[in-house]
Structure 1
């Protein structure tokens, strides 16, 4: 009887040891996978060198100004960060502005956005805009025309109601793209224009949906007939996004 009890105890110990070994092995394999594909997990730290994943927009929206500036600096995109703008309205202004023209191509002209928008734009250019230009036109986008970012106003310029993301430079309106040979693809003229131009614009819109919390195009309403509105919608719950 004592031998049978000892045998059972040994078997239990061996079984528990096997479970522990398998658990440890599984944990090591999981950590390897997490390290190889950090973009697939909501709790990993954002890097602007990682591919775009299902949680990239949430991570961009949650970026603290100092961390955001550091990420841009790692890519050599942080020449003009930490720009501050105050306003008479408490809901307006920003402390984390980034001057996009400071780092060259594509040229945005004289444009300053919040840091998280600048970070999202850098990923959008690399992962969507330039590949789409190469695929449709065998060219590179050298300039992106906008209707600006900062505007101390409420949504749609109304006298009351919610404040626009533009009030904190947390949004940008994209009007057109210019290629190396001078070709200009404009949202207003080309959304329903020549097939390759229309397809390019829809590709860049769809790619923006993976990076910005809000992406609005001419498919949304008449107010967006001439631009793509992109914003980070701070304060929205994780997982929230709008793509139209």
Structure 2
């Protein structure tokens, strides 16, 4: 119990000193600063993203700022009803210069995390690893009112609340199209790109599930909001 008491005391001391420390904290490390789509994926940033799940108006405000910064384009179709109703869903239409195979329906936190992932990982890694620009992301969908693996009696999937996106391929300015199915087990730059961005996706989503997890994910990355940086 002594170590726990020590951690609590240290946390209280840091919190008391925070007003004086704030001017020296880099972006992504100030727990009192509003979240920005350009904040690096630190522990503090990920905590803020999780908090926005319980505060949709605040999430939509950050998302609007991300749109103004050119990180995402979207519309707000309004609440949906039915077996799997959605409150304040977002229809994502693109991520700045990166288009989509089709628009997709997302919760606000999923839309925001995806904008951060594309702008901070998928796009820059395309230049760093492949030497070309990312132009389009292909996906297999997001919202689907179903249970996990569509098994009878199982709990509802993240897709049932529009909190997961399945990415299947990436297209680039030099004409290449890199698919998860064909590229994951190969060698070379395309495979390095896929494995790099999959590893980095764990910083932006609650869970990232890829081809190494099971055959059901052989052709896509499942990027969901449940959990806290679970990478499989």
- With the shorter chain as reference, the TM-score category is 0.7 to 0.9
Question: Is contact 2:74-2:93 (8 Å) kept?
Answer: no
Gaps of 5+ in 2: 1-13
Q: How far, CA to CA, are the matches of 1:142 and 1:102 in structure 2?
A: 10
Q: How far, CA to CA, are the matches of 1:103 and 1:211 in structure 2?
A: 15
Per-residue CA deviation, residues 113-133 of structure 1 (Å, 9 max, x unaligned), is 111111001110111101110
Question: Is contact 1:106-1:143 (8 Å) kept?
Answer: yes
Cα offset for 1:102?
A: 5.7
Cα offset for 1:181?
A: 2.6
Q: How far, CA to CA, are the matches of 1:133 and 1:158 in structure 2?
A: 37
User: Would you say how many aligned residue pairs link Structure 1 and Structure 2?
Assistant: 211
Cα offset for 1:61?
A: 2.9
- Partner residue, 1:99: 91
Question: Is contact 1:93-1:169 (8 Å) kept?
Answer: no
- Partner residue, 1:67: 58
Deviates more, 1:120-129 or 1:78-87: 78-87
The one of 66, 79, 86 equivalent to 2:81 is 86
Please list, as runs of the form range in 1=range in 2, the aligned pairs for 1:1-244 lying within 5 A after superposition: 29-33=20-24, 36-40=25-29, 44-63=33-52, 64-76=55-67, 77=72, 79-81=74-76, 83-87=78-82, 89=83, 92-101=84-93, 105-108=97-100, 109-233=102-226, 240-244=228-232
Q: How far, CA to CA, are the matches of 2:211 and 2:167 in structure 1?
A: 12
Cα offset for 1:58?
A: 3.2
Task: Tell me which of the two structures has the higher relative contact order, counting C-alpha pairs closer than 8 angstroms and 6 or more residues apart.
Answer: 1
Q: How far, CA to CA, are the matches of 2:209 and 2:94 in structure 1?
A: 27
Q: How far, CA to CA, are the matches of 1:28 and 1:104 in structure 2?
A: 35
The structure having more radius of gyration, on CA atoms, is 1
Runs of 4+ in 1 over 6 A off after TM superposition: none
Deviates more, 1:105-114 or 1:125-134: 105-114
Q: How far, CA to CA, are the matches of 2:175 and 2:62 in structure 1?
A: 32
Per-residue CA deviation, residues 22-66 of structure 1 (Å, 9 max, x unaligned), is x9xx66541223xx3252355653221322212333322331221
Q: How far, CA to CA, are the matches of 2:198 and 2:18 in structure 1?
A: 38
Task: Pick closer, same or farther for the CA change 1:75–1:154 going to 2, 3 Å.
Answer: same
Q: How far, CA to CA, are the matches of 1:218 and 1:209 in structure 2?
A: 14
Tell me the secondary structure at the aligned position of residue 181 of structure 1. coil
Question: Is contact 1:69-1:81 (8 Å) kept?
Answer: no
* TM-score, with structure 1 as normaliser: 0.79
